[in-house]
Amino acid sequence: MEKQWSHPTVQEMYLLAGEYVINDVGVLRPGAYCWWRENLFHGPYGSQTGFMFFIRTDGGKLANIIKDEIIPVDYQAPHNPSLPDELHPYNAELPRVKNY
């Protein structure tokens, strides 16, 4: 998906398998967790391995608001999580599932 999107609700995502790239977050690997507040644009997204994740919203059903601008997916996106200070000691990038 070479676009950014947001939702009118909070969105959570937990990656079970594969890799999932989000340009502004980095390469997610199994066990990765993301949380976005409502109306915050994020993305674009892509996967070269395939993926499986749980996704849920809080505050209503999932609805996508998608920008028109095309932005290429960066499959080498740098590790860039947004974490509270107390979680920074646990911030470590894991090895790739498969090198491309």
Domain coverage including residue 65: 5-90
Task: Please enumerate, as own/partner, the contacts of 92-97 that have beta carbons within 8 Å and a separation of 24 or more.
Answer: 93/26, 93/27, 94/29, 96/19, 96/27, 96/29, 97/18, 97/19, 97/29, 97/49
Q: Indicate if the pLDDT at residue 92 is higher than 90.
A: no
> What's the rounded mean pLDDT across residues 71-86?
89
Report the domain count for the chain: 1
Identify whether 78 is part of a domain: yes
Establish if 97 belongs to a structural domain: no
Per-residue pLDDT reduced to its tens digit, 22-76:
999 999 999 889 889 999 999 999 999 999 999 999 999 989 999 999 999 999 9
Domain assignment present for residue 99? The answer is no
Residue 96 lies in a domain: no
pTM of the model: 0.82
